[in-house]
Amino acid sequence: MLSKLPDNIDVLVHIGAGKCNELDAYLATSASRIVLVEPNPSLAASLRRCVQTEPRVQVLEVAITNNPADNQLNEYNLPGASSLYPPTELRRLYPGMRLLKQHRVTTIGVEELVERCELEGEHNALVVQAPGSELEIIEALTERGDIDRFSYIDITCSEKPLYESPSQASEVLALVHEQGFDTVNRDDSEPDWPRWTLRKNALKKKFTELQIEYRAVTQALEHTHTYLERLKAETAEERAAGAAALTTEQEKNASLSKEVDGLKQYQADTRKQLESTQTQLEQVNAALKDTEQKLQRAERELANAADRSAQDYTAKLKELREANGKLQKQLEEAEGKLHTTEEQLQQAKSARRKADERATAAEKRADQAEQKIAQLEQQLSERGTSAAEIKKLDQRLEYFFGQHTLQLEQAANALGHHVTSTVTSTAKELEAGIALQQQFGRDLPSLEEQGNKLPATVALQLSRQLKSTPYDVIIEFGSGVTTTFMARTLRNQPSNKEEAEGTELARYVDPSEDDLPKRIICFEHNRAKYNELTQKLKESGLAPVIKLQHAPLVAYQHQGQEHLYYDCAIRLQQLAKLFEDRQARIFVLLNHANGNSRPDLKAALPQLLQHLSAHSLDVVVSNVSLEPELATQWHQLLDSRDLDYRPVREFGTHGLLVKINP
């Protein structure tokens, strides 16, 4: 962020203006002329259109370098990284960066730039945003003394060389400090591109000049003493020459005396000048002492601020402990649920024992029935009933007893399976919830939204999937609690270089209108839900991460049948065009929509393959219970298209994952 500009600016020069987001701040100053230097043809043309009604602003479409051979500008997909030098360390910091264009640009030297800007006086401002060229520009200004024409300098420079040039912040700032400038602000909002603000310290500049003058006077005085001693030595030698040359020696002595008197006068004048210089030095020392006192007051204020920060830290620690208490409470509730489930299991076992007892009782009743049958046989025998009828009656009774026993066994087995499944599911949800709490801490996103709950197992699997694979873009069909969860997961990814190297997380570049898409593209067919989610994203600060698109349901033909699905063809074509020069990695999440009119999941994969079949796709359906035959249909479709894929596997507790072109 640009630091506050001085009120009395005559001319403001911005080298590497780009889109010049600071233009409004520049126009608000008293500057009579604003010179924007930008070599990129498209950006320079855009600047000219923006300032065509501002007579104070001039746009120079040139690159600043003292070497005319460096006239090729490399433009990358990383905003603000364009440079005359090839990147070295920068490619390691941003593995996803790529070269978009190379422009042959017009170049001018620093001397010609100063002449074109028509700088007068020293109340001018300089802003430098020229990656890789910062040191060359400052050195040229220092060698010619043109840096004294500026009282305010703003430099964006990395702390170590990122290009094939020696430019780094320590050397650039050392040069500027030697010219009497003090650093008044450092902006680390972009950690790899810190921004430094410096102001001219007139007292420091005057002190440096007085030191130089003092050293010169002291050196002249020493030369005078040396010369006087040499003259005295020569005089002693001449006196020893003898009385024969006494008259001549006296004349020489007289001449020497005059010369000595002149030297004494010169010494007195020099001493007077030295006393004046010492007086000025005392004044400067007094001013420096006053500055030191101000610095001490500032240090005390900083210490007070540190105490306040410590209090804030204590408050945050208290909040963390409260969060830990809540987590402990959740664990106790989960343990209670587990205990309840164990009681249910004991009840099921008790029911099983009762069922066994009923089966035993049924066997006893069967024995009694057999005895009764025997009695009936005897009675029938006595009455003359045929043996065939008795056998038929016996078989029918055995069938009824067998069916009754089978039903009892099936009921007991089903109850045991249900209880076991419930215990297993509860344990998995508990483990996943603890893992999410450890991963996010206090920043754990909500897993419930308007009555819809995202299972902890699915949330944990989503988080691991997004953090382990550097996806170029994420596509979600149907918004829900997964939308904000994925956005917060991506936003909470560590940007520290050591963490990134350890986990190989994806490095996303902030999107622009003609660059990479936003991280998540979400299609929603319900207008009310679309409007509600749009407002919610703005309030939560997640709007820059998600491209939410209203996509009503349209008819889609597949295998001779008509299916309703999202109107997403144009957006998928745009993605295919954007990634046509390489194979992109894309994550796709298919959510089930609520309501009477729901998108048909059978149309999802054919629609994706229609436009993105050349890319690596990880497709996840969140709840396959509504479409149990979906995995078989996917396999048949991929086989018919002769695409490389890994067989469908489980994702979370109820989801499926298929990897295409892995």
Q: What is the average per-residue pLDDT within 629-656?
A: 88
Structure tokens, 38? 């930008």
User: In this predicted structure, what is the pLDDT of residue 510?
Assistant: 42
Cross-strand partners of 547: 521
Strand ranges for 531-614 from DSSP E: 546-550, 553-558, 561-566, 585-590
SS3 354: helix
Task: List own/partner pairs for 263-270 with CB under 8 A and 24 or more apart.
Answer: 263/224, 263/227, 263/228, 263/231, 266/224, 267/221, 267/224, 267/228, 270/217, 270/220, 270/221, 270/224
Q: What span, in angstroms and rounded, lies between the C-alpha atoms of 156 and 186?
A: 10
User: In this predicted structure, what is the pLDDT of residue 337?
Assistant: 67
Instruction: Say which range, 262-276, 298-312, 438-452, has the weakest mean pLDDT.
Output: 298-312
SS3 647: strand
Query: Which comes out higher in pLDDT, residue 581 or 359?
Result: 581
DSSP label at residue 625: G
pLDDT-above-90 percentage for the chain: 35
Chain mean pLDDT for the chain: 80
Structure tokens, 272? 């007077």
Q: What span, in angstroms and rounded, lies between the C-alpha atoms of 249 and 265?
A: 23
User: In this predicted structure, what is the pLDDT of residue 508?
Assistant: 39
Half-sphere exposure of residue 256: CA atoms within 13 angstroms, side-chain side: 18
- pLDDT at position 401 over 80: no
Quickly tell me which residue has 């007292």 as its tokens. Answer: 203
In tens, the pLDDT along 554-565 reads 988 888 888 899
Query: Which comes out higher in pLDDT, residue 417 or 330?
Result: 330
Q: How confident is the model at residue 309 (pLDDT cuts 50, 70, 90)?
A: low
In tens, the pLDDT along 216-262 reads 777 877 777 787 788 778 777 777 776 666 677 677 767 777 776 87
Secondary structure of 235-276 as H, E, C letters: HHHHHCCCHHHHHHHHHHHHHHHHHHHHHHHHHHHHHHHHHH
Q: How confident is the model at residue 298 (pLDDT cuts 50, 70, 90)?
A: low
In tens, the pLDDT along 264-281 reads 787 787 778 778 777 877
In tens, the pLDDT along 78-119 reads 988 999 999 999 988 888 899 999 999 999 999 999 999 998
In tens, the pLDDT along 3-16 reads 788 888 999 999 99
Secondary-structure percent of the chain, ordered helix, strand, coil, rounded to 5: 55, 15, 25
Cβ-proximal residues to 50 (8 Å cutoff; 6+ apart), any chain? 20, 23
Quickly tell me which residue has 């945003």 as its tokens. Answer: 129
- State the pTM of this model: 0.41
DSSP label at residue 182: E
- pLDDT at position 405 over 60: no
Q: What is the DSSP string of 435-488?
A: HHHHHHGGGPPPSEETTEE--HHHHHHHHHHHHHS--SEEEEES-SHHHHHHHH
- pLDDT at position 310 over 80: no
Query: Which comes out higher in pLDDT, residue 6 or 383?
Result: 6
Q: What span, in angstroms and rounded, lies between the C-alpha atoms of 586 and 134?
A: 38
Helix H or strand E segment including 655: strand 655-660
